[in-house]
Each structure stands twice: as C-alpha cells, then as structure tokens.
Amino acid sequence: MRILIVLVGRTIPGFNELADKLSRTFKCPVSLELIDFPLTRSFRSERKQYDAGAFLREMGRFSEPGTKTVFMVREDMFSTPLNFVFGLAAADSCVVATARLDPRFYGKVDDGKKAGALFKERLFKEMMHELGHTLGMPHCNDKKCVMAFSNSIADVDHKGAGFCKNCQKALKIEG
C-alpha cells in the first residue's frame, strides 16, 4: 500500500511531520503533492459550502491503483444529510476539510504554538479516520478510537489519534 496526500490549493504548515507520522503508523510510503485545482464545481452557493461527495467524484481521476489518496482542502464541506463534515471517504480516496479543524473557525485567537499544535492533532486524527474508511473500516463505538464518528469538534478533541484494539486487529496494525 502507498498513501498519496494531495494538498489542494495551499500548503498546510508542519505538514511533512504529519506525513511522516502516517508513514510510521501504516508502515508504508507516504508522498505529498500540491495541486492548484479550482473547486468551483463542488461549491454550493446556497450553503456557502463545498459538497464533499461531488468533490471526490471530480477528483477521482487523480487516484492511482494500489494507492490511498487523501485530498486536503481548507474549505468548509458538507455531505447530505449532514450540515458539515470534517472528511469523507469513497473507495480508495478521501477528502479532509480543514476549515472546521482550525481553532480560528470557532473564534479562537491564534496563540501560536498551542493553536498550531491543536490544529495538527485534529488534522492527524481526521486523516487517520478517513484513511481507515478507505481500508474498509466502519465507525467504531469506542469513543476514544480514531474511527469514532465525530459530530462536533469536541468529539474530535475527545477521541484518540489511534485505533482501538478491535480496529487494530481488523486492520492488522500493531498498537
């Protein structure tokens, strides 16, 4: 297995360390790519959000066989019937929408390292979660497992960054 992380439009500070962490967790190569791609087709003006499903369908051409592709966007996304999503997976691809993972989205003043560390922690959890879905994992009932469903940013903050024992066993990943 190989993981390709595609940053759409803009880079994300400290991203290389997140890619390294994913590589160690999944024990596979992780590569990064930056593309400048207009998201206008998936924008829904009535909601002022991007449709995550439409985005993934449009980006399907960037996926490669045997590769799990994670698209990273800074925009706010939704997937009907949900008002918003932190991410969405379909087959071998997923998207992580970073807008609501950023403390500034909730009016928190960026106090430097603390806010940046929180953002990276949230981002890593959602990357792990969506990659888990691309590997066939469903949502987990263990609220501390990274595969737990997150209905709010508090849920993201509450769950751990790793798979519970049952999910590790299903994925054949050592803890």
Q: What is the pLDDT along the chain (175 residues), one digit of tens a residue?
A: 999 999 888 767 777 888 999 999 999 999 998 888 777 789 999 999 999 999 999 988 777 888 999 999 999 999 999 999 999 999 899 999 999 999 888 887 666 568 788 899 999 999 999 999 999 999 999 999 999 999 999 999 999 999 999 999 998 865 5
Per-residue model confidence (pLDDT) at position 121: 94
- Considering only CA atoms, which of 61, 56, 136, 138 is closest in space to residue 94? 56
Per-residue model confidence (pLDDT) at position 174: 57
Per-residue model confidence (pLDDT) at position 112: 59
Q: How far apart are CA 1 and CA 14, in angstroms?
A: 24
Angle at alpha carbon of residue 153, lines to 152 and 156, rounded to 5°: 100
Per-residue model confidence (pLDDT) at position 166: 95
Residues 102, 108 contacting (CB under 8 angstroms): no
Per-residue model confidence (pLDDT) at position 83: 96
Residues 129, 171 contacting (CB under 8 angstroms): no
**Per-domain residue ranges of the chain:** 2-137
Q: How far apart are CA 90 and CA 130, in angstroms?
A: 9
Give the CATH number of domain 2-137. Answer: 3.40.390.10
* Adjacency order of strands within the sheet including 87-90: 30-35, 2-8, 67-73, 93-97, 87-90
Q: How far apart are CA 83 and CA 171, in angstroms?
A: 30
Catalytic residue numbers, as ranges: 130
